[in-house]
Structure formats: structure tokens, C-alpha cells
């Protein structure tokens, strides 16, 4: 479902953990000597909200800048490794895998502009999920005890790319999601992140780069 109500207003008056924010850069799986070389960046945040008793919410979002990374998804290059150009997305998906207890109270919510630029969040049936292994590849993990959701970007697929100091959010690529359920647990983990393929006008290609990572709350 979609809602114009912000998750912070929704949770006002409740007890919640301080937002957790994580900034990442995605490195190609081939040698860094490749020139030009373009990297992609993302920002990941979450809030775990206990609403009393066994009712709890988990909010997962990329709407806030983290450290030097702009909100959402962005593509850039480091000094000496590229030049200003344009990039075209062949794929930009966002996956989130949350404990099943956060799917027991109805359909996940989307907030803000998420439903404008992203397809409806759909549940994915899979025994495993590929996640970033931190070395330019992926590791498959079991989805047992979790539900996996996916949404695909449907906004503008071509955008200017500039150097790292001037990078900005690719328009429309932030996501803002809420999951609701019943749990007595005070901690846990979820997995989330972008998966992308893109090319640049000057000949660089990034294929199925996986930024799904594990986060704890």
C-alpha cells in the first residue's frame, strides 16, 4: 500500500531505536587499473520501532544522505579514473529480506515518492538470496525465516555522471519502506540493497553488481 504519511510521524510517541545509517561504495569485480572506471554508491538506513507489547515495526529506507554519499543511488568516478559523461541503467532493483515476523500484519508500506518511481513491492519466492561478499562477488544465503521483497526502478534511465565531489542522487532512486508485525525480540537482522547493471556513453559497463548487505537492529 502507499501512504503520504511519513514513517516518523507514524511512529511519533512510540519507543524506537536511533536510526542506523550505512554508506557504501560498490567496486567492479575486475582490476582497478581499468580506465575509465565508474563506481556506484548507496546509503542505507533503518529504524526499529516497538509500539508496545509484542507489536513492532521495521522501517528500511535510503532517503537520507550518509557520510559523503547522497541519498539513494548514485554513479560517479574518482579523480583520474574517468570523465564527465552519461550513464544508462539496464537494471536497477532494490531487494529487502526481512524476518517473517515483520510480514505478519498486512502488506508492507511504501512512503513518499517510492510508488512513483518504483514498481509495486512484490514477494519473491527463492530458497537463497545472493548478497555482496565484500570482494566484488556474491555469497548465497538461505532465506529460511525471512521474506524476500523486490521492487524495480521505473524512472529516468539515463542521467549525467560527474566526479565524486559533485555526485548527487540519481533522480527517483530513493526507497522508503515499512514492515509491520509481532515480535518480542529486541534485536535482529535484515538484508537490503540495490542490484544494478549500467553502461556509460564512453564505454564502461557494470553488469549485475550486487549491493545487498546484512544489517542488524
Provide the pLDDT for residue 122.
93
Contact assessment for residue 40 and residue 94, using Cβ atoms and an 8 Å cutoff: no
Is 8's pLDDT higher than 70? no
Grid-cell match 508496545, residue found:
52
Is 56's pLDDT higher than 80? yes
Q: How far apart are CA 124 and CA 23, in angstroms?
A: 26
Helix or strand or coil: residue 192? strand
In sign, the C-alpha dihedral spanning 156, 108, 63, 65 is negative
Contact assessment for residue 175 and residue 62, using Cβ atoms and an 8 Å cutoff: yes
Contact assessment for residue 19 and residue 42, using Cβ atoms and an 8 Å cutoff: no
pLDDT band at 30 (very low <50, low <70, confident <90, very high): very low
Q: How far apart are CA 98 and CA 83, in angstroms?
A: 39
Provide the pLDDT for residue 29.
44
> 67 or 169, which is more confident?
169
Give the pLDDT mean for 157-186.
92
Provide the pLDDT for residue 183.
74
Instruction: Give the tens place of pLDDT for each residue, 87-130.
Output: 999 999 999 999 988 876 568 999 999 999 999 999 999 999 99
Provide the pLDDT for residue 27.
55
Rg (CA), the chain: 17
pLDDT band at 33 (very low <50, low <70, confident <90, very high): very low
Amino acid at each position: 500500500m502507499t501512504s503520504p504519511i511519513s514513517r516518523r510521524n507514524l511512529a511519533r510517541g512510540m519507543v524506537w531505536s536511533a536510526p542506523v545509517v550505512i554508506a557504501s561504495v560498490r567496486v567492479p569485480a575486475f582490476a582497478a587499473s581499468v580506465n575509465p572506471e565508474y563506481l556506484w554508491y548507496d546509503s542505507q538506513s533503518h529504524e526499529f520501532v516497538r509500539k508496545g507489547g509484542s507489536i513492532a515495526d521495521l522501517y528500511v529506507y535510503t532517503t537520507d544522505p550518509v557520510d559523503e554519499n547522497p541519498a539513494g543511488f548514485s554513479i560517479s568516478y574518482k579523480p583520474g579514473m574517468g570523465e564527465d559523461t552519461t550513464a544508462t541503467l539496464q537494471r536497477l532493483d532494490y531487494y529487502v529480506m526481512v524476518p517473517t515476523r515483520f510480514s505478519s500484519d498486512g502488506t508492507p508500506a511504501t512512503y513518499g515518492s517510492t510508488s512513483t518511481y518504483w514498481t509495486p513491492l512484490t514477494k519473491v519466492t527463492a530458497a537463497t538470496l545472493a548478497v555482496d561478499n565484500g570482494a566484488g562477488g556474491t555469497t548465497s544465503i538461505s532465506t529460511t525465516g525471512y521474506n524476500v521483497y523486490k521492487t524495480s526502478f521505473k524512472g529516468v534511465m539515463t542521467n549525467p555522471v560527474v566526479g565524486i565531489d559533485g555526485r548527487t542522487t540519481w533522480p527517483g532512486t530513493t526507497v522508503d519502506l515499512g514492515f509491520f508485525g509481532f515480535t518480542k525480540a529486541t534485536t535482529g537482522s535484515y538484508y537490503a540493497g540495490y542490484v544494478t547493471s549500467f553502461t556509460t556513453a564512453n564505454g564502461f559497463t557494470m553488469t549485475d553488481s550486487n549491493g545487498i548487505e546484512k544489517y542488524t537492529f
